[in-house]
């Protein structure tokens, strides 16, 4: 099939490359000319393992192209996928302006039968609204006779940054919302060859399923963080508790890691958006308000713990390992690490940070006074404390004997309980985790 994908971010680019692997031809469109120029040269503009290799294969085979000129590639398109961002507005709703803009651009040029497919995470009702924008724009351009040939399907994306391509190629399920069999069949054809469980449903259900999934995962994280706070007060150990409850197949082991809470480009905005969606229908989603409150409080709890142990923060040299919102990505959007670094810096700490992939992105948002080191060990030179904020596997490969000789005070605050199984105490460190 000939596919156009609008938006070449984490989701758009991964999807585009995945679909070339399934045997389709993909034209990728973005308004960011610099991004398109980089991609055209074979450079992936963000860090995500595996994408660069597949990009080179697809470019060699001629199955992918990049352009800023939507109209030029729409002429051949059987499917038009939307993968533009839907960030939060200041009031917590999903900002749909990028999607609306893209829909208008599609309507201005589309002149043949096509299925529109929304991969962006969007509130209930958005797919139908976008279909209307496209059809209305076509009518305004004198193509009202063609509007009935344009249909829409909701295809929410569940990939995780850090394992985006493998998640995309081997999804645990594909949820598709559509109005008729033709659309379902086209979406099946789009994913030909993959073994997965299909959830074929209505457009509204598919839209809400994506929010429900992220809200459920965020709820698990806030729940285990509440348990961690009780564990600290009672002398219990949250890691063992998580293991103990996670072995129950009704609960499962995932998303039960206590720490500084969730961040990233999806959970915070999607949990807020779902609360707003509920509110707009006159329903007070109390549980989600608590999930958000607990998540925000968890950062305060961690910073306070550092203050309590160190006595005061002002003028103290603190090493920070990890800035991305999780390991395996350079994405710092809504990163809890960035927030905690800002707070410590605001309290007067002298911060030296290291992250394997996210330092360039972090430099653009953090205050100028924050220093960056070339390695994890270099960041800890002369430090009075080390704070671990992202669970990068390379942090476990460090020589902890060397680390101890570089630090003034060998104390480690682990915001992810990630180094717990390294048993830093045996190297002479004081180790402070969350809920343990």
Question: Which residues are designated catalytic?
Answer: 266
Interface size with ligand NAD, residues (CB under 6 A) = 27
326 binds ligand NAD (CB under 6 A): no
85 binds ligand NAD (CB under 6 A): yes
Stretch that binds ligand NAD, among 4-12, 348-356, 364-372, 398-406 (CB under 6 A): 4-12
Contact with ligand NAD (CB under 6 A) among 88, 109, 121, 335? 121
Contact with ligand NAD (CB under 6 A) among 3, 4, 5, 7? 7
Contact with ligand NAD (CB under 6 A) among 3, 4, 9, 338? 9
Contact with ligand NAD (CB under 6 A) among 48, 93, 157, 330? 157
Shortest Cβ distance from residue 70 to ligand NAD (Å)? 7
Mask: binding to ligand NAD, 241-280, rule CB under 6 A, as x and -?
------------------------xx--------------
Stretch that binds ligand NAD, among 1-9, 58-66, 238-246, 287-295 (CB under 6 A): 1-9
| Cβ proximity to ligand NAD, 121 vs 272, nearer residue | 121
Is 376:394 a contact under the CB 8 Å cutoff?
yes
153 binds ligand NAD (CB under 6 A): no
Range 14-43, binding ligand NAD (CB under 6 A): 29-32, 35
Shortest Cβ distance from residue 273 to ligand NAD (Å)? 9
Two structure tokens written together for 192: 């030909």
Residues in contact with ligand NAD by the rule CB under 6 A: 6-12, 29-32, 35, 83-86, 98, 101-102, 105, 120-121, 157, 159, 161, 265-266
């Amino acid at each position: 099939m000939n596919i156009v994908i609008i938006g070449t971010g984490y989701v758009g680019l991964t999807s585009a490359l995945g679909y070339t692997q399934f045997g389709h031809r993909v034209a990728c469109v973005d308004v960011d000319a610099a991004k398109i120029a980089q991609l055209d040269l074979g450079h992936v503009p963000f860090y995500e393992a595996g994408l660069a290799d597949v990009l080179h294969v697809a470019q060699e085979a001629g199955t992918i192209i990049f352009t800023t000129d939507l109209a030029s590639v729409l002429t051949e398109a059987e499917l038009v996928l939307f993968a533009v961002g839907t960030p939060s507005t200041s009031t917590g709703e999903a900002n749909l302006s990028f999607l609306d803009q893209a829909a208008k651009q599609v309507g201005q040029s589309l002149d043949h039968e096509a299925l529109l497919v929304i991969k962006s995470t969007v509130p209930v009702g958005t797919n139908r609204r976008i279909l209307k924008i496209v059809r209305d724009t076509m009518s305004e351009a004198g193509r009202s006779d063609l509007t009935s040939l344009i249909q829409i399907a909701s295809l929410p994306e569940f990939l995780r940054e850090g394992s985006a391509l493998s998640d995309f190629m081997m999804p645990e399920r594909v949820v598709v919302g559509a109005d008729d069999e033709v659309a379902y069949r086209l979406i099946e054809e789009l994913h030909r060859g993959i073994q997965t469980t299909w959830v074929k449903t209505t457009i509204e259900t598919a839209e809400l399923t994506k929010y429900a999934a992220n809200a459920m995962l965020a709820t698990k994280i806030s729940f285990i963080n509440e348990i961690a706070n009780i564990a600290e007060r009672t002398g219990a150990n949250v890691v063992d508790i998580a293991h103990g409850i996670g072995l129950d197949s009704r609960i499962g082991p995932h998303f039960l890691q206590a720490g500084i809470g969730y961040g990233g480009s999806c959970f915070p905005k999607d949990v807020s958006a779902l609360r707003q969606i509920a509110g707009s229908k006159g329903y007070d989603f109390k549980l989600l308000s608590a999930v958000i409150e607990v998540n925000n409080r968890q950062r305060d709890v961690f910073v306070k713990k550092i203050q309590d142990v160190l006595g005061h923060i002002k003028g103290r040299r603190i090493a920070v390992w990890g800035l991305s919102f999780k390991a395996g990505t350079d994405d710092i959007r809504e990163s809890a690490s960035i927030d905690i670094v800002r707070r410590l810096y605001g309290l007067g700490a002298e911060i030296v940070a290291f992250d394997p992939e996210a330092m360039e992105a972090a430099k653009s948002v953090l205050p100028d006074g924050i220093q960056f080191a070339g390695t994890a060990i270099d960041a800890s030179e002369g430090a009075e404390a080390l704070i671990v904020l992202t669970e990068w596997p390379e942090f476990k490969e460090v020589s902890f004997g060397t680390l101890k000789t570089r630090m003034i005070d060998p104390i480690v605050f682990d915001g992810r309980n990630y180094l717990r199984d390294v048993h830093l105490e045996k190297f002479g460190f004081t180790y402070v985790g969350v809920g343990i």
